[in-house]
Amino acid sequence: MPMLQRHPIDLAPYDEAAKQAGDVQFVTPVMGNVIYSQFGYVIPAAITSSGQDKSNPQPTYLAPLGTLVRSPVSGIVDQIADLWSTPTHHDVSVMVKPDGLEAGCYVVVETEHVINPLVSVGDHVTAGQVIAEVGPLNSLGNSGLGLVELGILTGSESGRPMHVCPYAYFAPEVASTQLAMLAQLMTDWESYTGDSSLWDETSWVDGVTGCSSGPIIE
């Protein structure tokens, strides 16, 4: 499986003067009162396209429009695909096939709902390389913020993509640092909003920060 090196945007401890935590701008209101939604976060039926509750198969980061999106992994750009939202928002999915996969293994690391891609299919990218910008999906409901989703997709017996929690696949040498950054973001946001119940840290699957579910087929 791929070894992620980083998050798709820059994270850092909250700077109260700047109202920023790295690339993440702290503003309200935002949908669900969360600036970041973890893998397996239950999206309420009221805001899903199906009208039913949905487990989020890809962690979602909110950030100002124009924020640069960086590849979480080194590899070859496998696809740049249109989305259901492309006709309205001109956003796409950039999928990178990580270096070092075994022959016959198909796995991609996806940054979804991004705009202005700077790479093409077949390009080799390195982790941290700028590949796009956050897209405007749901920006009207998020105080003008854009978003990017992070995913790891592989096949399933049903033929539909299987999403696994990306945070379980950080490279060992960066995992503790990257997971600590994510935990700090959630702690800082709860402090900012005055609501300490937004994330249940005791629910993380196998103790991995940001993983609220096992694999999701969608």
The rounded distance, in Å, linking the Cα atoms of 49 and 145 is 20
Q: In one letter, which amino acid is 196?
A: S
Q: Please name the amino acid found at residue 28.
A: T
Q: Which residues pair with 108 in a beta bridge?
A: 153
Domains plus CATH for the chain? Answer: 20-217 (2.70.70.10)
**So what's the pLDDT on residue 109?**
97
The total number of residues shown for the chain amounts to 218
Amino acid, res. 10: D
pLDDT digits (tens, 9 = 90+) for 37-87: 999 999 888 777 778 888 999 999 999 999 999 999 999 999 999 999 999
Tens digit of each residue's pLDDT (9 = 90 or more) over 107-165:
999 999 999 999 999 999 999 999 999 999 989 889 999 999 999 999 756 678 899 99
Amino acid in the structure at residue 63: A
31 — phi, psi (to 5°)?
-60, 130
Whole-angstrom distance, CA of residue 115 vs CA of residue 150: 14
pTM equals 0.95
Three-state DSSP class for residue 30: coil
Q: How confident is the model at residue 46, as a pLDDT?
A: 77
